[in-house]
């Protein structure tokens, strides 16, 4: 049985985490599936619940930058990004310190660690109550659409995790941006845009170059966020299948009629779920999506849509 906990039951969620259980909790980006990052068995529970490949490392969540710098060595640029965007939808991949007590499963044996200070008040309160770093990937089965409500979490993971702390719908709707390297480069587009990073660092910032076939972040597999139906992107002419719109014009669901990227990001994952259901109802093997501009948050939205549309593994 998976308990659904209300915000005033946060102490129960913290106690379960301290006991080594897996508990899903809200962040401002998406719901995370948390476990005590210092407990091997607890972290193994995340991989089991999600069917996540063991080579894919986890982001560790802490309540403030000071706690993060106990686990990793920040570069001057990392400090600047953290200063500007923590708490918030930013993860930093940095050299792991020695003797942190973290489970090796968290880093998948890499010498680096991804850390994040979330902004959601329930997440911060939970992290403070747990008093230990909490590893948390998005709370969805590996390869599927990320959850932005507690109901999304229980739909897929009920019976596989101890509890979900219900904090309502997530504000940002897309996962955190991941930056890493020295100089800092973007490893995964997300809630903090390249423009935001350029302002914080006072220099142009780029997406990290791929080295051969290695994905930038090991979890950035081509097929991800996959609904059951196939997806056709950048469609301007309606076909006889359900259509996901952006901007004015006919659509079965619209990410943002006024073509606002922030609004589109917030509802993207819920819309993908609903489009999947519409396609199934209509007996369509795919649905179509309007073009999304590649600027600001559009880069992250396009990244998720491209992965959702990629051929399945
Ligand atoms: O917004 C978010 O970041 C959410 C919430 C729950 O915080 N979490 C999240 O976690 O999106 P997950 O596991 O779905 O994505 C983590 C990504 C993966 O692509 C993983 O490969 C990458 O971070 N990652 C983790 N540690 C890394 C490392 N040391 N180096 C490079 N990439 C890393
Ligand atoms: Mg994920």
Q: What is the CATH number of the domain that holds 70?
A: 3.90.870.10
Pocket probe mutation, ligand 1, options 91, 96, 181, max atoms within 8 Å of Cβ = 91
Same-domain pairing of 175 and 234: no
Same-domain pairing of 180 and 245: no
Total-model pTM: 0.93
For residue 309, the number of C-alpha atoms closer than 13 Å in the C-beta half-sphere is: 15
Rounded distance from Cα 59 to ligand 2 centre (Å): 10
Same-domain pairing of 75 and 187: yes
pLDDT tens profile 80-121: 999 999 999 999 999 999 999 999 999 988 899 999 999 999
Q: How many angstroms separate the most distant Cα atoms in the chain?
A: 59
CB of 6 closer than 8 Å to CB of 166: yes
In a domain, 217, yes or no: no
Rounded CA separation 178/228 (Å): 27
What 3-state DSSP class applies to 187? strand
Which ligand lies nearest the alpha carbon of 175?
1
Domain that holds residue 169: 3-201
Q: Which residue is closest in CA terms to ligand 1's atom 33?
A: 217
**Ligand 1 in contact with 233 (CB < 6 A)?**
no
Rounded CA separation 275/230 (Å): 11
In a domain, 136, yes or no: yes
Q: What is the CATH number of the domain that holds 289?
A: 3.40.50
pLDDT at res. 210: 60
pLDDT at res. 263: 98
Same-domain pairing of 151 and 296: no
CB of 57 closer than 8 Å to CB of 106: yes
pLDDT at res. 303: 93
What 3-state DSSP class applies to 23? strand
In a domain, 95, yes or no: yes
Residue 110 Cα: closest atom of ligand 1: 29
CB of 145 closer than 8 Å to CB of 273: yes
Same-domain pairing of 187 and 259: no
**Ligand 1 in contact with 148 (CB < 6 A)?**
no
Q: How many residues does the chain have?
A: 313
Average pLDDT, 10 consecutive residues per value, the chain (313 residues) = 97 98 98 98 98 92 98 98 98 97 93 97 98 98 95 97 98 97 94 97 89 55 78 94 97 98 97 96 96 96 91 69
Same-domain pairing of 135 and 35: yes
Pocket probe mutation, ligand 1, options 127, 175, 179, max atoms within 8 Å of Cβ = 175
Same-domain pairing of 139 and 184: yes
Rounded distance from Cα 142 to ligand 2 centre (Å): 7
Same-domain pairing of 186 and 297: no
Same-domain pairing of 173 and 43: yes
In a domain, 224, yes or no: no
Total domains in the fold of the chain: 2
34 phi and psi angles, rounded to 5 deg: -90, 150
In a domain, 116, yes or no: yes
Rounded CA separation 159/56 (Å): 23
| CA nearest to 172, candidates 44, 6, 300 | 300
**Ligand 1 in contact with 142 (CB < 6 A)?**
no
In a domain, 26, yes or no: yes
Ligand 2 ion: nearby residues, β-carbon < 5 Å: 138
CB of 90 closer than 8 Å to CB of 179: yes
In a domain, 223, yes or no: no
| CA nearest to 56, candidates 222, 223, 225, 220 | 220
Pocket probe mutation, ligand 1, options 43, 49, 52, 57, max atoms within 8 Å of Cβ = 57
pLDDT at res. 216: 61
Rounded distance from Cα 114 to ligand 1 centre (Å): 7
In a domain, 42, yes or no: yes
Rounded distance from Cα 85 to ligand 2 centre (Å): 20
Same-domain pairing of 96 and 158: yes
Same-domain pairing of 294 and 234: yes
| CA nearest to 123, candidates 13, 261, 4 | 13
Same-domain pairing of 68 and 197: yes
């Amino acid at each position: 049985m998976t308990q659904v906990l209300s915000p005033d039951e946060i102490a129960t969620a913290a106690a379960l985490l301290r006991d080594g259980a897996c508990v899903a909790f809200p962040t401002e980006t998406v719901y995370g599936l948390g476990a005590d990052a210092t407990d091997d068995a607890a972290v193994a529970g995340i991989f089991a619940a999600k069917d996540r490949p063991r080579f894919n490392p986890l982001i560790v969540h802490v309540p403030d930058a000071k706690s993060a710098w106990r686990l990793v060595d920040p570069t001057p640029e990392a400090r600047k990004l953290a200063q500007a965007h923590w708490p918030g939808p930013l993860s930093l991949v940095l050299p792991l310190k020695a003797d942190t007590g973290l489970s090796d499963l968290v880093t998948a044996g890499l010498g680096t660690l991804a850390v994040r200070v979330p902004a959601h008040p329930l997440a911060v309160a939970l992290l403070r109550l747990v008093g230990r770093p909490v590893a948390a990937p998005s709370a969805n089965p590996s390869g599927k659409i990320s959850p932005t409500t507690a109901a999304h979490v229980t739909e897929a993971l009920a019976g596989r995790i101890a509890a979900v702390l219900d904090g309502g719908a997530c504000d940002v709707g897309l996962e955190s941006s991941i930056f890493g390297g020295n100089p800092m480069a973007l490893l995964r587009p997300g809630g903090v845009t390249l423009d935001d990073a350029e302002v914080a660092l006072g220099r142009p910032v780029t997406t990290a170059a791929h080295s051969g076939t290695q994905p930038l972040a090991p979890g950035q597999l081509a097929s991800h966020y996959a609904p059951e139906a196939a997806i056709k992107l950048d469609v301007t002419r309606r076909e006889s299948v359900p259509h996901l719109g952006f901007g004015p014009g006919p659509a079965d669901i619209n990410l943002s009629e006024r073509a606002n990227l922030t609004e589109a990001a917030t509802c993207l994952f819920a819309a993908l779920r609903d489009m999947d259901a519409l396609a199934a109802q209509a007996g369509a093997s795919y649905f179509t999506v309007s073009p999304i501009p590649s600027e600001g948050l559009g880069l992250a939205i396009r990244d998720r849509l491209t992965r959702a549309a990629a051929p399945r593994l």
